[in-house]
Structure 1
Amino acid sequence: MSDAAQLMDRMYRRQRHIYDLSRKFYLLGRDEAIAGLHAGPGVSVLEIGCGTGRNLVKLARAYPGAHLFGLDVSREMLASAAAAMARAGLSARVALGQGDATAFDSAALFGRARFDRVMISYALSMIPPWREALERALEVLAPGGSLHLVDFGPGAGLPGPFRSGLRRWLAAFDVTPRDDLGAALEALSAERGLTCKIETRFRGYAVLAVARPPSPRSGEGGP
């Protein structure tokens, strides 16, 4: 098992049982990101850093015809995700696999090399080599596919004391907002001929971003 997997397993061995209950109050923007996927019948969706499977259950209900896949480095979190799929009656619809976000083999794990949609929700802020994870996410996009991100933002519009306190609190859980996430995504997308839409929410508390091919007519948009 990799060092990253061991670290995440230690962190979430007990936390995973209360993770969704506690995180719903501050992991803002996840449902908006899910709504933006527009994953119709037959569309493949991979969530990198799927954790307890909360988003995958939401995805399955929002897009009943989509093919869903979840990746996480932690076996503990994947155990919770598998249990969540079973409770929701989704075990046959959602494939789960263990892998490092920076170097996973999607063909070996899921039987396919590319996905129409890739989503990363509040995971890049927990992955030290987050740029490598971002690159890998773009690498597994199918032609015409789109990458959807939601994570902690720079918080420029938040009151100074609140922002400082939030950062200290997040650091206690090994979470580091990636203030240059937008710039990194723009640069990596430009290298691949993709366009970016990057927005902040809640006075900069959260950032939502989408990278997709340019529209043939407008230069923006997506599949």
Structure 2
Amino acid sequence: MTGGEGHAARMDGVYRGQRHIYDLTRKYYLLGRDRLIDELTPPVGGHVLEIGCGTGRNLIAAARCWPGAKFHGIDISEEMLKTARAAIAHAGLTRRVSVAQADATGFDPNALFRTASFDRIFQSYTLSMIPDWQGAIREAMCHLSTYGSLHIVDFGQQEDMPDWFRAALFAWLARFHVEPRALLIEAAREAANDAGARLAVTRLYRGYAWALRLDKRPR
């Protein structure tokens, strides 16, 4: 079994039961997701990709927020995608939203969605669950259009939170194979430099979450 297959099996195991209650439980602590969606501003007729789309919650919200764009999502867990496909169909968005099983660290947009690149890509609380999370950032940058942007929101390091809160949160997250990435900003800065992109970082809720945006600039 390859590393990617092992991670897929692990995530299917985690979410086989949780997928039915995931959105209900996560809305209280996955903060900053709707802020990210509001800031996507995709062009009319543009293509938007969510990496780690899970249940489809963010894709549906984004498609409703930006009706002029087309949305796509990938996830390594086929179990989560079962819920996503059902939710997208229930929302009446199957013509504008499509999902597929794929690894965030290596995927082919043409094979999956018949598009060469994306105007916007976003990763919402996924990098803290991907073993090769730096590779996932680099892969996303490779699939942006000329003026595209990558949007990330994930757990911060709780910079202004009490020590007990940080310790309790990190211990609880570890039970679900979630590890906030202390070097996220540094890795994003390196990816931005490599791609000739501009990086903007916003610390949210006293460092509870970090919001990052990488805007490509033609060389």
TM-score tier by shorter-chain length is: over 0.9
Unaligned ranges ≥5, structure 2: none
Aligned to 1:92: 95
The answer (yes or no) to whether the contact 1:75–1:98 under 8 Å persists in 2 is yes
The answer (yes or no) to whether the contact 1:186–1:196 under 8 Å persists in 2 is yes
Aligned to 1:207: 210
For 1:1-223, list aligned pairs within 5 A.
2-214=5-217
C-alpha distance in 2 between matches for 1:147 and 1:137: 7
Task: Name the Cα RMSD after superposition.
Answer: 1.4
Q: Tell me how far 1:30 sits from its aligned partner.
A: 0.2
The answer (yes or no) to whether the contact 2:154–2:211 under 8 Å persists in 1 is yes
The answer (yes or no) to whether the contact 1:122–1:151 under 8 Å persists in 2 is yes
C-alpha distance in 1 between matches for 2:107 and 2:43: 26
Q: What is the DSSP-based 3-state SS (H/G/I as helix, E as strand, rest coil) of the residue aligned with 2:23? A: helix
Aligned to 1:219: none
The answer (yes or no) to whether the contact 1:40–1:63 under 8 Å persists in 2 is no
Q: Aligned residues, how many?
A: 216
Unaligned ranges ≥5, structure 1: 217-223
CA-to-partner distance for each residue in 1:112-166, whole Å, 9 max, x for gaps? 1210000000000000110011110111011110000000001111111001000
One-letter identity of the residue aligned with 1:179: A
C-alpha distance in 2 between matches for 1:46 and 1:152: 20
Q: Tell me how far 1:106 sits from its aligned partner.
A: 1.4
One-letter identity of the residue aligned with 1:90: L
Q: Tell me how far 1:214 sits from its aligned partner.
A: 4.8
TM-score, normalised via structure 1 length = 0.94
Q: What is the DSSP-based 3-state SS (H/G/I as helix, E as strand, rest coil) of the residue aligned with 1:20? A: helix
The answer (yes or no) to whether the contact 2:134–2:187 under 8 Å persists in 1 is yes
One-letter identity of the residue aligned with 1:160: D
The answer (yes or no) to whether the contact 2:147–2:218 under 8 Å persists in 1 is no
Q: Tell me how far 1:213 sits from its aligned partner.
A: 2.9
C-alpha distance in 2 between matches for 1:185 and 1:70: 21
One-letter identity of the residue aligned with 1:116: D
Q: What is the DSSP-based 3-state SS (H/G/I as helix, E as strand, rest coil) of the residue aligned with 2:82? A: helix
One-letter identity of the residue aligned with 1:76: E
Q: What is the DSSP-based 3-state SS (H/G/I as helix, E as strand, rest coil) of the residue aligned with 2:199? A: strand
One-letter identity of the residue aligned with 2:74: L
Q: After the TM superposition, which segments of 4 or more aligned residues of structure 1 sit over 6 Å from their partners?
A: none
The answer (yes or no) to whether the contact 2:149–2:215 under 8 Å persists in 1 is yes
Q: What is the DSSP-based 3-state SS (H/G/I as helix, E as strand, rest coil) of the residue aligned with 2:29? A: coil
CA-to-partner distance for each residue in 1:47-73, whole Å, 9 max, x for gaps? 000000000010111000101001001
TM-score, normalised via structure 2 length = 0.96
Change (3 A) 1:102 1:215: closer
The answer (yes or no) to whether the contact 1:121–1:150 under 8 Å persists in 2 is yes
One-letter identity of the residue aligned with 1:88: A
